[in-house]
Amino acid sequence: MSDRYLTFVNTPFGRTAAQSLGLPAPVPLKRWKRIDQPFIEGDVLIGAANGSKAIGAIGRVLGASPAKLFHASAVATLNDSAKSGNKAEALPLDGDGGDIERKFSALVFDATGMKDTTDLRAVYDFFHPTIRKLSANGRVLVIGQDPASCRQPAKAAAHQALEGLVRSVGKEIGRKGATANLLWMAPGAEKQLDSSVRFFLSPRSAYVSGQVTRIGKSADAPASNPVAPLAGKVALVTGASRGIGASIAETLTRDGATVLGLDIPAAMEDLQSVMSAIQGKALACDITDEKAPKQIADFVKEHFGGIDLVIHNAGITRDKTLGNMPEHFWDMTIAVNLTAEELIDEELMHQELLRENGRIVCISSISGIAGNFGQTNYATAKCGVIGYVEAMAKRVKNGVTINAIAPGFIETQMTAAMPITMREAGRRMNSLSQGGLPIDVAEAIAWYCNPASNGVNGNVVRVCGQSLIGK
Ligand code: NAD
């Protein structure tokens, strides 16, 4: 279903009409288009609080892009690898930003050096003169230290404070299609930053804003092919016949994986057509069937010998207020959205089919975070998904990670079936004033699956355009 309002306000007449009526005027989001497209282009300004540790890694990642780098000389004391390795040009900032004529495609600030809340001033000094210079579809990325790893309360407070900053910046810049996100790095996890810096600065994260991702320290990531990072990997995608699942299957294939797509027997025709376009394999299976976990594991063993990426995408809604909800609505919704995932993982692990450095990705929902009228069953299941991911993240071994995506309003058959008022509210009630596309969820999953994302474990990242609903 197309968003006619988005198309309309991007005509000259529509823009004027929206302005005069005070209506939101969403900017079309730039998404990642070509396999050889650099993750970022244009001018990028980087800065750091004194003593920050991540700036070298950021400089290295950005140095490999065609972006022209500047460093904010007035606030940052950059280490040599950030400056010289990437030939970042010093840019003096004054209070008004009046000396900066150029527009930036990204503003990146390394705050990991902050020791207490007085150091937050460095954040203001960097962003105040520059934030208005951020271009449409631009990126703000802040890197702090995970507050859980800060021993001093004043230091923990300073790093926690960045969450409030980023969420507010996201709301201020969303009207130009720009996003703001925060990475909380564990001490010593500089080498684990690369894939996340690339993702959050690139058009792949077009619909992700106001999010905090924890990056843990882990073994060095194995070298991977930047154009096909998932080459040699086998991915199971449930609910792959349409919508978000089909897009996940296509995106993981684009990144080099071989896909085993699964869906209910009634969806076989659609599943076959998605799989034949990507040379994937199709499996007819109702994941709530008690034989399903074994059926899936046996299929994986026979056809692939093991599995690297398990994407639990299949989901259903059966909406009714709690008092009116028949018990089969409750049972089915919990079974598909939550219990089936646990049982499938259990069987794959029991049969030792999940390979080293494997990835499990579950799909939650903003309904699971905020709750939703008429969705007690769905929100219960999707909140349970978060609990499952957080608990499993502490248990997984052999380089395996488990994370969740919580989509907001994504344009699919599921949301097309909503009443028009709810659909329009879902589309507009976020910082970017538009719905997301299945590809936005798929790109975030591809980031989790990247071998270089081995420090990203136990996270729940929302792909919701920074929905006003929930945290
Ligand atoms: P969709 O209804 O278009 O697709 C869901 C797929 O899951 C279908 O192909 C369906 O046949 C399959 N499926 C359902 N029950 C199954 C079962 N028992 N066994 C095997 N397959 C089964 O939904 P979508 O919008 O693409 O959503 C994909 C996921 O994203 C779901 O988990 C959904 O809850 C979640 N989500 C979607 C949105 C959104 O805005 N579309 C928002 C939040 C979360």
Task: Kindly indicate the confidence band of residue 78, based on its pLDDT and cuts at 50, 70 and 90.
Answer: low
pTM across the whole model: 0.95
Q: Which of 156, 188, 215 is the last residue of a domain?
A: 215
Q: What would the two tokens of residue 233 be?
A: 């990997």
Tell me if 211 sits within 8 A of 285, measured CB to CB.
no
| Interval between CA 372 and ligand 1 midpoint (Å) | 17
- The verdict on residue 13 lying in a domain is no
Q: Which of 185, 215, 245 is the last residue of a domain?
A: 215
- The verdict on residue 453 lying in a domain is yes
Same domain, 167 and 270: no
Same domain, 308 and 441: yes
| Interval between CA 380 and ligand 1 midpoint (Å) | 16
Residue of 63 and 94 predicted with greater confidence: 63
Catalytic position from the list 5, 378, 388, 448: 378
Q: Which of 181, 215, 249 is the last residue of a domain?
A: 215
| Interval between CA 313 and ligand 1 midpoint (Å) | 6
Tell me if 140 sits within 8 A of 178, measured CB to CB.
yes
Average pLDDT over every residue of 36-46: 92
Nearest CA to ligand 1 atom 23: 414
Task: Kindly indicate the confidence band of residue 84, based on its pLDDT and cuts at 50, 70 and 90.
Answer: very low
Ligand 1 lined by 261 (C-beta under 6 Å): no
- Each residue's pLDDT tens digit, 138-164: 999 999 999 999 999 999 999 999 999
- Each residue's pLDDT tens digit, 320-353: 999 999 999 999 999 999 999 999 999 999 999 9
Ligand 1 pocket mutation, candidates 1, 333, 366, 414, criterion most atoms within 8 A of CB: 414
| pLDDT for residue 419 | 85
- Each residue's pLDDT tens digit, 227-241: 899 999 999 999 999
Buried b (16+ CB within 10 A) or exposed e, 347-382: bbbeeebbbebbbbbbbbbbbbbbbbebbbbbbbbb
Q: What is the dihedral of CA 225, 197, 430, 361, to 10 degrees?
A: 50
- The verdict on residue 446 lying in a domain is yes
Q: Which atom of ligand 1 approaches the CA of 245 most closely?
A: 26
- The verdict on residue 223 lying in a domain is no
417: domain range? 234-463
Q: Is the per-residue pLDDT at 81 higher than 90?
A: no
| Interval between CA 239 and ligand 1 midpoint (Å) | 6
Distance between CA atoms of 33 and 439, rounded to whole angstroms?
11
Same domain, 416 and 372: yes
DSSP string, 69-80: EEEETTT----H
Q: 84-88, 125-129, 370-374, 385-389: which has the highest mean pLDDT?
A: 385-389
| Interval between CA 404 and ligand 1 midpoint (Å) | 15
| pLDDT for residue 319 | 95
| pLDDT for residue 222 | 76
| pLDDT for residue 384 | 98
Domains in the chain, number = 2
Nearest CA to ligand 1 atom 12: 239
- Mean of the per-residue pLDDT values for the chain? 92
Q: Which residue has the tokens 């939550």?
A: 338
Task: Kindly indicate the confidence band of residue 82, based on its pLDDT and cuts at 50, 70 and 90.
Answer: low
Q: Which CATH number fits the domain that encloses residue 161?
A: 3.40.50.720
Ligand 1 lined by 412 (C-beta under 6 Å): yes
Same domain, 199 and 287: no
Same domain, 187 and 255: no
Same domain, 141 and 275: no
Same domain, 318 and 456: yes
Same domain, 79 and 201: yes
- Each residue's pLDDT tens digit, 418-446: 888 888 888 999 999 999 999 999 999 99
Nearest CA to ligand 1 atom 17: 286
Ligand 1 lined by 426 (C-beta under 6 Å): no
Phi, psi angle pair for 77, to nearest 5°: -110, 95
Same domain, 382 and 449: yes
For the question of residue 448 being annotated catalytic, the response is no
- The verdict on residue 360 lying in a domain is yes
- The verdict on residue 17 lying in a domain is no
Q: Is the per-residue pLDDT at 87 higher than 60?
A: yes
ipTM for the assembly? 0.99
Choice among 31-35, 292-296, 299-303 with the minimum mean pLDDT: 31-35
- The verdict on residue 349 lying in a domain is yes
Choice among 166-170, 385-389, 423-427 with the minimum mean pLDDT: 423-427
Same domain, 339 and 445: yes
Same domain, 291 and 211: no
Ligand 1 lined by 298 (C-beta under 6 Å): no
- The verdict on residue 75 lying in a domain is yes
Q: What would the two tokens of residue 282 be?
A: 């199709």
Task: Kindly indicate the confidence band of residue 274, based on its pLDDT and cuts at 50, 70 and 90.
Answer: very high
Ligand 1 lined by 336 (C-beta under 6 Å): yes
| pLDDT for residue 417 | 84
Same domain, 278 and 161: no
